[in-house]
Amino acid sequence: MFDLFSDIMACRTNALTRVDSRVKLVSALAVLVAVLCSTHLALPLAVLAACLAAMLALRLPVRLTLLRLAAPAVVVLVLTVVQVFMYGVTPLWTFTLGGCTFTATVEGAWKGALLGARVFGAVSAMLLLSSVTPAHQLFHALRWLGMPKTWVEVALLMYRYVFVLLDETADVATAQRVRLGYAGVSRSLSSLGVLSGTVIVRSLDQSMRTHEAMVLRCYRGSMPFGPLPVLGRKERWLLLLVPLAMAGLCCLAECLGRPQ
């Protein structure tokens, strides 16, 4: 669980981690917009392939990457199934189940595939971004991009304490498991309820203790952030060129994919 949320991979040194976090964030957002605006499969699939290739080249553990893609894969599956059977008129395949007839349509299949490709393309871009940018740098880049300071402060605190609470959750769950708390459905449900309650109470305790510690260092309602490093000429050019390049690619994909 720790690995799933941790930014430990982003703390390694490689070609992408050395790039300024603001450049990476703007580039990722440009890719995200391009993928979401795309009306053809080519661009999202190209982004997915490029991001996966980059993650492989950076030697990110394949298992971790697949694990991180698992949740969006479930979303894609549901989306595709819904689209295939609920959208379009040209029948592709029909079957009967429990007296009901289900018809998959050609249009639905295309739409489902497009939505799936968009989700995978967008998620892979975000995964690559989070794999090469430590969380705190990402939050500071968001601050530079205009996200309200309070949101950044809350996000930083959430990210800091998610691991503490994960540890607490794991400890409580282990304590329950070794005392047969998960033997049987009813006991499991009861243990899950206790676990959730305990984590909520402990997170409240933690928040109070943290607030006390903040007060001890003269906290006055907002976290003071240091200045961000000045952007170099190369970074400024990249900030301009990457979104333009993505816009160009988007247009190109549209032109190539337009029916004659």
Partner 1 sequence: MKEDAGSLALSASQVSFSYEEGTCALHQVDFHAQAGEFVALLASNGSGKTTLIKVLAGLLQPQQGTVLVSGQDIRKIAATELYQRVGLVLQNPNDQLFGATVEEDVAFGPRNLGLTENEVQKRVTESLEAVAAGPLRSRAIHHLSFGEQKRVAVAGVLAMHAATLILDEPTAGLDPMGETLMMRLLNRLNREQHITIVLATHSVDMLPLFAARICVLSHGKLLKVGPPEEIFCDHDMLARASLRLPYVSRLLHELKRYDGVPINGLPLTVGEARKQLLELLPEEVLTKPELQALPRPPEEDLS
Nearer to partner 1, 40 or 136 (CB): 136
Q: Which helix (H) or strand (E) element contains residue 97? A: strand 91-97
Nearer to partner 1, 87 or 219 (CB): 219
Nearer CB in complex with partner 1: 89/216: 216
Structure tokens at 135: 């969380």
Q: Say if residues 5 and 166 touch (Cβ distance below 8 Å).
A: yes
Query: How far, in Å, CA of 9 to CA of 60, rounded?
Result: 7
Nearer to partner 1, 22 or 111 (CB): 22
138/158 Cα distance (integer angstroms): 14
User: To the nearest whole angstrom, how small is the minimum distance from the Cβ of residue 151 to partner 1?
Assistant: 14
Supply φ then ψ for residue 39, to 5 degrees: -105, 5
**Cα–Cα dist 27/47, whole Å:** 12
Minimal CA–CA distance to 127: which of 203, 42, 35, 221?
35
Query: Closest CB to partner 1 among 59 and 209?
Result: 209
Closest separation in Å from C-beta 153 to partner 1? 10
Q: What distance in Å separates the CA atoms of residue 152 and residue 140, rounded to the nearest whole number?
A: 7
Give contact residues for partner 1 (rule: CB under 8 A).
6-8, 11, 134-136, 139, 156-157, 159-161, 163-164, 206, 209-210, 212-220, 223-227
Q: How far is the CB of 64 from partner 1 (least distance, A)?
A: 16
Q: Cα separation of 191 and 179, whole Å?
A: 11
Q: How far is the CB of 161 from partner 1 (least distance, A)?
A: 8
Shortest gap between Cβ of 247 and partner 1 (angstroms)?
33
- The length of the chain in residues reads 260
Q: Is 153 left (phi over 0), alpha (psi -120 to 50) or beta?
A: alpha
- Shortest distance in whole angstroms from residue 29 CB to partner 1: 21
Helix H or strand E encompassing 100: strand 100-105
Which is closer to partner 1, CB of 93 or CB of 225? 225
Residue 11, both tokens:
């703390």
Q: Closer CB to partner 1, residue 106 or residue 157?
A: 157
